[in-house]
């Protein structure tokens, strides 16, 4: 299954394989943005402020809207 020739082919086409996959760039940028926001403490502070000003009913609605809009962005 994994012969020397298939290993060479895998390594030589790795960059074109990953660069030809459009969603990968968006995932890498989003992961980097969340990591920076979490490391700086911005994410924690934003979530605390958001939870203070939203009622429990609106929290469910906001979660639904956030999840739905994330799905729409990822499908484009």
Residue count (the chain):
76
Q: Pinpoint the alpha helices (H) of the chain.
A: 4-12, 14-19, 22-40, 42-53, 56-74
Q: Please tell me whether residues 57 and 76 are part of one structural domain.
A: yes
Note down the domain range covering 32: 1-40
Q: Please tell me whether residues 56 and 35 are part of one structural domain.
A: no
pLDDT of amino acid 19: 78
pLDDT in tens, 17-75: 777 877 787 788 888 988 998 899 998 898 888 888 888 788 888 888 888 888 887 77
Q: Please tell me whether residues 7 and 31 are part of one structural domain.
A: yes
Q: Are 55 and 63 in contact (CB under 8 A)?
A: no
Q: Please tell me whether residues 58 and 29 are part of one structural domain.
A: no
pTM over 0.85: no
- To 5 degrees, how large is the angle CA 58–CA 72–CA 34? 75
Q: Are 51 and 59 in contact (CB under 8 A)?
A: yes
- Number of separate domains in the chain: 2
pLDDT of amino acid 1: 67
């Amino acid at each position: 299954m994994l012969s020397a020739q298939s290993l060479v082919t895998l390594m030589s086409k790795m960059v074109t394989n990953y660069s030809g996959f459009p969603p990968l760039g968006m995932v890498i940028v989003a992961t980097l943005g969340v990591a920076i926001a979490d490391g700086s403490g911005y994410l924690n502070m934003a979530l605390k402020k958001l939870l203070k000003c939203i009622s429990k009913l609106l929290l469910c609605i906001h979660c639904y809207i956030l999840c739905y809009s994330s799905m729409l962005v990822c499908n484009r």
